[in-house]
Chain A
């Protein structure tokens, strides 16, 4: 069975600092995608960043970047220059069969002013 594991239920970071959220996954698929989704308090879940497994280059989106280690099945999210608006629940996810996605249990990120 496919699994996505986020080992940090909660994290805190000082505003303007850098923080890394960890994620490991297990899949038997040869072709898959990995995602980080953000769910701000009382707001909709949105996609932060996507990585195609066959691409070696790590994806980046402005202050957000990933460290994708395919052999280790690791997919961490780095947030640089943390801002108050980055406070949210972050979910790591991996595609499964038939367009479905398996989500991790989430990491709640607090930004300290």
Chain B
């Protein structure tokens, strides 16, 4: 079975720092996703990429940007971290087309911004 890996399980950053969250998948999936998970709010889509160098805003893109230079890697960037970005961040990937394909998730990165 393939895997989705995320660069860190836990991360602590200071307000104003630039933060990079990395995600790598080994399943040759076209689609990659970044979600934010908060208690009582479920998973909210931040950004979505369906191909290298292609990206699409999700429901809550403000304060975030993404980069996809290679098919297997999708990075989430917090340009200037703020305390309200303290959260669990989940990366996922899936095959493109025929939307019944499941999404495969990474283990998550719990980010704390102080």
A residues adjacent to B (C-beta < 8 A):
9, 32-33, 35, 43-47, 50, 52, 91, 95-96, 98-101, 103-106
Which of A91, A95, A103, A106 is in CB contact (< 8 Å) with B99? A95
The answer to whether residues A106 and B42 also contact, given A95-B99, A98-B50, A99-B99 and a CB cut-off of 8 A, is yes
| Contact between chains at A9 and B100 (CB < 8 Å) | no
Bound Cα distance A46, B102 (Å): 9
Q: What are 28 A-B pairs at a CB distance below 8 A?
A: A32-B99, A33-B99, A35-B102, A44-B105, A44-B106, A44-B107, A44-B108, A45-B90, A45-B92, A47-B102, A47-B103, A52-B100, A91-B42, A98-B48, A98-B50, A98-B56, A98-B99, A99-B50, A99-B94, A99-B96, A99-B97, A100-B33, A100-B58, A103-B35, A104-B42, A105-B40, A105-B42, A106-B42
Residues of the B chain whose Cβ atoms lie less than 8 Å from the Cβ of A95: 99-100
Residue of A nearest to B6 (CB): A44
Residues of the B chain whose Cβ atoms lie less than 8 Å from the Cβ of A98: 48, 50, 56, 99
Residue among A35, A43, A98, A99 having the largest count of chain B Cβ atoms under 10 Å: A99
Bound Cα distance A95, B94 (Å): 12
Given contacts A50-B100, A105-B42, 14 further A-B contacts (CB under 8 A): A44-B108, A46-B105, A47-B102, A50-B102, A96-B99, A98-B48, A99-B31, A99-B50, A99-B96, A99-B99, A100-B45, A101-B103, A103-B35, A104-B42
Which chain B residues numbered 20 to 58 have a C-beta less than 8 Å away from chain A? 31, 33, 35, 40-43, 45, 48, 50, 56, 58
B residues adjacent to A (C-beta < 8 A):
31, 33, 35, 40-43, 45, 48, 50, 56, 58, 90, 92, 94, 96-97, 99-103, 105-108
Residues of the B chain whose Cβ atoms lie less than 8 Å from the Cβ of A46: 105
| Contact between chains at A103 and B107 (CB < 8 Å) | no
**A-B residue pairs, 7 tightest by C-beta:** A105-B42, A45-B105, A33-B100, A103-B43, A95-B99, A47-B102, A103-B42
Residues of the B chain whose Cβ atoms lie less than 8 Å from the Cβ of A101: 103
